[in-house]
A = this chain, B = another copy of it.
Amino acid sequence: MDQHADSPKTRYISTASSVFAEKGYNAASLAGIADKLGVTKQALLHFFGSKAALYEEVLKALSDRLLSSIQNVEGTSPDEQLRNFFLQLSTASLEKPADTQLVLRALLDAQVSSESWPLKPFLDALGALAHKTKRWSQASDAELFCWIYQLIGSIQHFAISQVTLKGMYGTEAFDVLRETHSAQLRAALADLEKDPS
């Protein structure tokens, strides 16, 4: 792969990502993405061949991003790395919800399309990291994955509820909620210090 950061292809994928995240696969149109890029939709078709192929590359890029966010997480011990990963995921999904939207939309669409799940490498890496912590070293895969899914689920759900929560209770009330949410996440992650119960 010899494309540098501002290669047209990567630029296209980046913009397409944000549009797919915002509107979903079907509501996003090639013409709409192209408009945002200042080109015609045929420019997109020239590079990717079809809308479906473009979407696949968007998911591939998402997978790479998530995977590298695990591989490059700061921390000296697995415990610290795992904790940092979840904290970073939480703030990232609140500040830039695009990736979270992309994941959830892909999950919802997968209910019917049932292709192979592109985020498996990410999940496996996360599971492997968690297995290295003392809290989860002895646990079964099922227990471990349920714990992971629980955390990711509440993080992502809170992130996409952001807009409606603000709408229902106001921005100030949401700020309090966000603080509390962060505190509860830290509390859940503090359990990593404990021995397996």
Residues of A at under 8 Å CB distance from B? 22-27, 97, 101, 104-105, 107-112, 114, 116-117, 120, 123, 140-143, 145-147, 149-158, 160-161, 163-164, 167-168, 173, 176-177, 179-181, 184
Contacts and interface: CB of A to CB of B under 8 A. Distances in A.
A180 B143 contact: yes
Contacts of A153: 153-158
The interface centre, meaning the residue of A112, A150, A158 with most chain B CB atoms within 10 A of its CB, is A150
A163 B101 contact: no
Given A142-B173, A149-B154, 16 more contacts: A23-B26, A24-B27, A24-B108, A104-B104, A107-B160, A107-B164, A110-B164, A111-B163, A117-B167, A142-B177, A142-B180, A146-B180, A149-B157, A153-B153, A153-B156, A154-B154
| Copy total for this chain | 2
A145 B178 CA distance: 11
A116 B167 contact: yes
Interface class of chain A by DSSP: helix
A177 B107 contact: no
Contacts of A184: 143, 146-147, 150
Listed from nearest, the 3 A-B pairs whose CB atoms lie closest are A153-B157, A26-B27, A153-B154
A156 B108 CA distance: 11
A67 B151 CA distance: 26
Contacts of A123: 168
Contact of A108 (B105, B142, B158): B105
Contacts of A154: 149-151, 153-154, 157
A152 B142 contact: no
A135 to B, nearest CB: 14
A111 B123 CA distance: 26
